[in-house]
């Protein structure tokens, strides 16, 4: 049985905004990870671990998983609180 994770990716350290973090991803989990005895690298014979599907909404990703009999784990994004500050606040005394 295929297993996948549905989530919104977090922004990378190179991004200052959240422009590319609006789409939901369905990423398959890798099975049968083995360590190569010669080089010591981790490898897998499961190519589904390289597949990532992108959806514009959470409902579309869930519907796709249900239609294709994919067990999924839904990871909800954490809410972040934005503190709006003004440059002048640095010079005001409380």
Residue 44's CATH number: 3.30.160
Number of compact structural domains in the chain:
1
- For residue 60, the enclosing domain spans 3-11+19-90
pTM: 0.68
Burial per residue of 24-59, b for 16 or more beta-carbon CB atoms within 10 angstroms, e otherwise: bbbbbebeeeeeeeeeeeeeeeeeeeeeebebeeee
Question: Structure tokens of 56?
Answer: 């514009």
pLDDT, tens digit, for every residue of 20-51? 678 999 999 877 777 878 888 877 777 777 88
Query: pLDDT at position 94, please?
Result: 64
Q: What is the mean pLDDT of residues 65-93?
A: 87
Give the DSSP letter of residue 37.
Answer: T
């Amino acid at each position: 049985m295929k297993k996948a994770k549905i989530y919104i990716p977090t922004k990378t350290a190179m991004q200052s905004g959240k422009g590319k973090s609006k789409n939901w991803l369905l990423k398959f989990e890798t099975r049968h990870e083995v360590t190569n005895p010669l080089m010591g690298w981790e490898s897998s014979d499961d190519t589904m671990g390289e597949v990532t599907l992108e959806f514009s909404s959470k409902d579309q990703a869930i519907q796709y998983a249900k239609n294709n009999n994919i067990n999924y784990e839904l990871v909800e994004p954490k809410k972040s609180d934005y503190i709006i500050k003004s440059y002048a606040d640095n010079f005001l005394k409380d």
